[in-house]
Amino acid sequence: MSIPFRIKLLTPTAKAPTQENPGDLWDLYADNFDFSALQDQEHDGEDATNYLEAIVVDDAGGLGLPDEFDNSRIGCWRTDRGFEIMPHGRILVKTGIAIELPVKLNYGWIFKSGDPYAGEGSHLILTYAVADIRPRSGLALKHGITVLNTPGTIDNSYRKEIGVILYNAGHKPYEIKRGDKISQMLIRPLYPSAMEIVSDFDDTGRGGFGSSGR
């Protein structure tokens, strides 16, 4: 069973997610860049606020930075085609798309008793759908570029533009351009859960970091 979802292209330059092969995760592409939600990465105070407010949108709809400002303050440098993320810098890359996930769907089976392959006493599970935003392994290995809040999660009620927070954990600047593959999206079922408050539960004797070994 596949999980249906719908995509809306929000800008003329936005690219819809793609799959190289059936069963692959969906590739997401850079469409624009947004610094408005970022705090200054090197300096605090009025200068940082003025810097972020000075970001402008050019006639082509792309974000630009005035030349008199020091781009390194938010860990990025403007280039002719996009932005370079400095080592330990981060950037919010806008994808130009919004997603509509199904609110509820029947997915899988629960078997109450007996042989699960017999199908007796079973019923469909009512589930939800979520989208996980994950790093691309090639970018991570070759350039140290990862999704900072990995996995980013999009729940089934989110309808705004998808943004991806990229972080440069490498030692060299890396340029992100419009149309570049920047991350992958996994559409998966989310099974309902229920919480019970108790006074005690079984103690396995395990806990703490490293409890499963080195």
Q: What angle do CA 55, 60, 65 make, to 5 degrees?
A: 20
Quote the pLDDT of residue 173. Answer: 87
Question: Residue 88 carries which DSSP code?
Answer: T
pLDDT at 138 over 60: yes
Quote the pLDDT of residue 75. Answer: 64
Compute and round to an integer the Cα radius of gyration of the chain.
22
Higher pLDDT, 172 or 7: 7
Quote the pLDDT of residue 187. Answer: 94
pLDDT at 203 over 70: yes
Question: Residue 23 carries which DSSP code?
Answer: T
Higher pLDDT, 198 or 49: 198
What does the H/E/C string look like for 49-73?
Answer: HHHHHCCEECCCCCEECCCCCCHHH
Long-range contacts of 196-205 (CB under 8 A, 24+ apart): none
Q: Burial of 124 by CB count in 10 Å (0-12 exposed, 13-18 middle, 19+ buried)?
A: exposed
pLDDT digits (tens, 9 = 90+) for 36-77: 665 544 444 444 444 444 444 444 444 455 454 444 455 666
Q: Which residue has the tokens 């006493």?
A: 121
The mean per-residue pLDDT over the stretch 136-141 comes to 96
Q: Write down the architecture of domain 27-190 according to CATH.
A: Distorted Sandwich (2.70)
Q: Burial of 139 by CB count in 10 Å (0-12 exposed, 13-18 middle, 19+ buried)?
A: buried
Hey, is 162 helix, strand or coil?
Answer: strand
pLDDT at 92 over 70: yes
Higher pLDDT, 194 or 50: 194
Quote the pLDDT of residue 43. Answer: 42
The mean per-residue pLDDT over the stretch 191-205 comes to 87
Residues 6+ apart with CB under 8 A from 91: 33, 35, 38, 74, 75, 76, 83, 85, 165, 166, 176
Residue ranges covered by each domain of the chain = 27-190
